[in-house]
Amino acid sequence: MRTLWNNYRYLFFRRTTQIGLLFLYFGANAWGWTALMGNLSSSSILGIIPLSDPYAVLQMLAAGAVLAVDLVVGALIITIFYFVVGGRAFCSWVCPINLVTDAAAFLRRKIKVDDFAKKQPATRNLRYWVLALSLIISFAMGVAAFEFISPISMLHRGIIFGMGFGWAAVLIIFNFDLLVLKNGWCGHICPLGGFYSLVGKYSLVRVHHTQENCTLCMKCKVVCPEQQVLYMIGKETMPVLSGECTNCARCIEVCDDDALNFSIRDLIKNNKSGE
Amino acid sequence: MTAREESDRRKFILRMARGAGIAALGGFVWSAYVDEVTASQLLLRPPGAIKEEDFLKTCIKCGLCVEACPYDTLLLAKPGDHKPLGTPYFIPRDIPCYMCPDIPCVPVCPTGALDEASVTTDGKLDINIAEMGLAVIDRETCIAFWGIQCDACYRACPILGEAISVEYNKNERTGKHAFLTPVVHADACTGCGLCEKACVTEKPAIFVLPKEVAMGKAGNYYIKGWDKNDEKRLEDATEIKTKTELSKESAVDSLNDEEVLYK
C-alpha cells in the first residue's frame, strides 16, 4: 500500500486537481456556484478575479480585437502563475485532454504498440510551427483561429455546457495518440502546449535529477510524455531545464532510488552556466 | 566546396521546402475551415453584442453570459450546431430572451464582446434599447391576416404597443368583419423573441432575424426631408460632381429637317 501511494501520489494529486477544477466549472453552470465560473478560455473566481487564457488573448491581439482590461489582467495573472509553477503544469495538472492522452499513452504501453511502430514520423517542434501558423491565420482571418478548432476547448466546454459532436474530436485524439503517433497531440501538435513551453522556459519549479542515486532503470523515461527533456538521466546532476517538461512528476514517483525530485530552480547558478 | 557540404545544403533547402509545403497545406485547410464556420449569419446574439464581425474577433467563448442567464436562454454553440463554435446564441422559439432589467449576461463579459454602453441610457442599464434582432411577420401564414382574430404576439411583446401594434382594416371578403393585423416597428423591437415563442401557428408566422438580415438599406441617395433626424445625414454629405464632356458637334434638328425625313 505504501509503495502504491509512493508510486502514484502525484498522479492522484493531478487527477484530483483536474477533476476538481472540472467539477467547480461544471457546478458553476449547473448549480450556480461562483467559486470558478466560465471555462478555460476565460474564467472568474467569485465573480471578482478574472482569469484568461494568454494564448487565446494573443490570438485575439493578432486578429485585431480591442482587448478589454479584465481580459489583459486575467491573462497576466495566468501567465505569471505558470511562469512560476512551470508553464506546462497547465498541461498535466489542468487540461482535460491530458486525461484522454494519458489514457491513450497507457493503453499504448499495455498493448505494446511501440513494438511495431518504432519510428516516430514527426518532430516535436511541430507545435511551434502550429503556434506560429495559428497567429498568422488569426491575423489573416480576423478571428482567433485555434479557438475554433481547439479540442481542448471543445472537451472542456462540452463537459460544462454540453458535448454535441465534441466527443468525435476527443475520439480522434485518443486514436491518434494510441495508434498513429506516440504522445501525438500533447507532445507534437498542440500549440497551447507549445505556448506554455515557451512561458515555462524560465519557470522556477523544476524536476531535479541527482545522478549519484540513479541506477539507470529508465522507468522515468518510459512514463515521461516528453522523453527528450530527460536527456541527463544517469549522466549529470542537474535540473530538467526544458520548458517542454510538463511537471507531471510521473518520473519522480516511479523512481525507486530518489534520483528525481522537485526543486526550485537556482537562477544565479544557471546564469553562470549560461542555461 | 566539398560534396558533403553541398549535400547538407541540399538537404536543408529540401527540408525547408517540405516544411513550407506542409505549413501551406495546413494553413489553407485551417483557414478554409475557419472561414466556413464563421460564415453563419442567421443567429441571434445576447443583448449588447457588438457587430458580428467584431463579435467573432472579441468573444473568447468563456460562457460567462450563458451561466449568468437566469432563464437558460443562452446557449454556447457546440460542434454539430452549425454555428461559430463556442459562441453564445439563443433560439427564441425554444427559450426567448425575457429582457431582465438588470441584464445579468452583459456586465459579466470579460472581453467587451457584449458592450455595456450599448445597453445603457443615462448611466443605467436599459434592456429596451437592446438590438438582438428584428421580428418579421409572414403575412401568408399569420392567421390574423386570414381574418381570424389572434393577437398572441401583440400581447406577448414586452414593449406592448410600441414594438408591435395592431392595425384595423376592413375585411372585403365578408364585407362586415375587420382584420386586426400585427405590425412590427423596427425602432422599438429588441428582437427578444417573446412574440415568436407565443405565436400560435405550427411554425411561427412571426420570427426574429438578425437586424442585418431582416432590413434593407436606403443608402445615401434617399433622405426623409420631413424628418429632422434623418436630415442630419446631409450634414456630412459631400457634393458629388459629375463631369460630362460637351458634344463638339452642334445639335441636329432631326424632326424639322426635311432632308433627313424624306431621304
Domain ranges for chain A? 2-198, 205-273
Which residues of chain B neighbour A191 with C-beta distances below 8 Å? none
pLDDT at A198 over 80: yes
Question: Is the pTM value of this prediction over 0.80?
Answer: yes
Contact call for A42 and B27, based on CB within 8 A: no
A-B CB pairs within 8 A amount to 137
pLDDT at A203 over 60: yes
Which residues of chain B neighbour A137 with C-beta distances below 8 Å? 27, 30-31, 34
- Say if B246 falls within a structural domain: no
Note the pLDDT tens digit of each residue in A37-69: 888 999 989 888 999 999 999 999 999 888 888
Distance, first Cα to last Cα, chain B: 90
- Is residue A274 very low, low, confident or very high in pLDDT (cuts 50, 70, 90)? very low
Residues of B with CB under 8 A from a CB of A: 19, 23, 26-27, 30-31, 33-35, 37-38, 53-54, 56-58, 60-64, 66-67, 75-76, 78-81, 84-86, 108, 110-112
Contact call for B79 and A164, based on CB within 8 A: yes
Which of A:110-149 have CB within 8 Å of B?
129-130, 133, 136-137, 140-145, 147-149
Average pLDDT, chain A: 87
- Is residue A273 very low, low, confident or very high in pLDDT (cuts 50, 70, 90)? very low
Which of 3.30.70, 1.20.1280, 2.60.40, 1.20.120 would CATH assign to domain A205-273? 3.30.70
Rounded to a whole number of angstroms, the distance from the CA of A182 to the nearest CA of chain B is 20
B181 & B208 share domain? yes
Give the pLDDT of residue A272: 44
Mean pLDDT for A245-265 is 87
Nearest C-alpha neighbor of B45 from the set B55, B60, B36 = B55
Q: Which amino acid is at B91?
A: I
- Say if B15 falls within a structural domain: no
B210 & B141 share domain? yes
Contact call for B110 and A63, based on CB within 8 A: no
For residue A220, the surrounding DSSP H or E stretch is helix A219-223
Which segments of chain B are extended strands (E)?
75-76, 88-89, 120-121, 124-125, 134-137, 164-171, 177-184, 206-209
B167 & B209 share domain? yes
Give the pLDDT of residue B3: 63
Rounded to a whole number of angstroms, the distance from the CA of B165 to the nearest CA of chain A is 38
Give the pLDDT of residue A165: 85
Which residues of chain B neighbour A29 with C-beta distances below 8 Å? 63, 66-67
Nearest C-alpha neighbor of B192 from the set B261, B107, B105, B110 = B105
Give the pLDDT of residue B88: 94
Contact call for B62 and A38, based on CB within 8 A: yes
- The answer to whether residue A50 neighbours chain B at the CB level (below 8 Å) is yes
- Say if B95 falls within a structural domain: yes
- The answer to whether residue A163 neighbours chain B at the CB level (below 8 Å) is yes
- Residue in B37, B60, B84 nearest the CB of A42: B60
- The answer to whether residue A154 neighbours chain B at the CB level (below 8 Å) is yes
Note the pLDDT tens digit of each residue in B210-229: 998 999 988 878 888 898 88
β-strand partners of A54: none
Choose from B61, B74, B81, B118 for mutation: most chain A CBs within 10 A. Answer: B61
- Say if B33 falls within a structural domain: no
Give whole-number Cα distances, B105 to A48, A57, B96, in Å: 15, 21, 14
Mean pLDDT for A71-90 is 91
Give the residue numbers spanning the domain of B84. 43-132
SS3 A52: strand
User: Longest Cα pair distance anywhere in chain A, in angstroms?
Assistant: 56
Which segments of B153-203 are extended strands (E)?
164-171, 177-184
> What is the number of structural domains in chain B?
2
Contact call for B33 and A66, based on CB within 8 A: no
CATH at residue B111: 3.30.70
Average pLDDT, chain B: 87
- Say if B138 falls within a structural domain: yes
- Say if B59 falls within a structural domain: yes
The sheet carrying A37-39 orders its strands as A37-39, A42-45, A49-52
Note the pLDDT tens digit of each residue in B75-85: 998 888 888 88
Give whole-number Cα distances, B106 to A111, B25, B119, B208, in Å: 51, 40, 9, 20
Q: What single-letter DSSP state applies at residue A30?
A: H
CATH at residue B143: 3.30.70.20
Q: For each successive 10 residues of chain B (263 residues), what is the average pLDDT? A: 72 86 89 84 90 90 92 90 90 94 92 91 90 94 92 93 92 90 93 94 95 88 86 78 74 63 58
Asked if B81 contacts A164 with a C-beta cutoff of 8 angstroms, the reply is yes
Nearest C-alpha neighbor of A65 from the set A142, A149, A141 = A142
Contact call for B79 and A57, based on CB within 8 A: no
Which residues of chain A neighbour B34 with C-beta distances below 8 Å? 137, 141, 143, 145, 148-149
Which residues of chain A neighbour B61 with C-beta distances below 8 Å? 39, 41, 147, 153, 157
pLDDT at A271 over 50: no
| Calculated CA dihedral for residues A141, A143, A145, A146, nearest 10 degrees | 170
Residue A54 to residue A75: CA distance in whole angstroms: 5
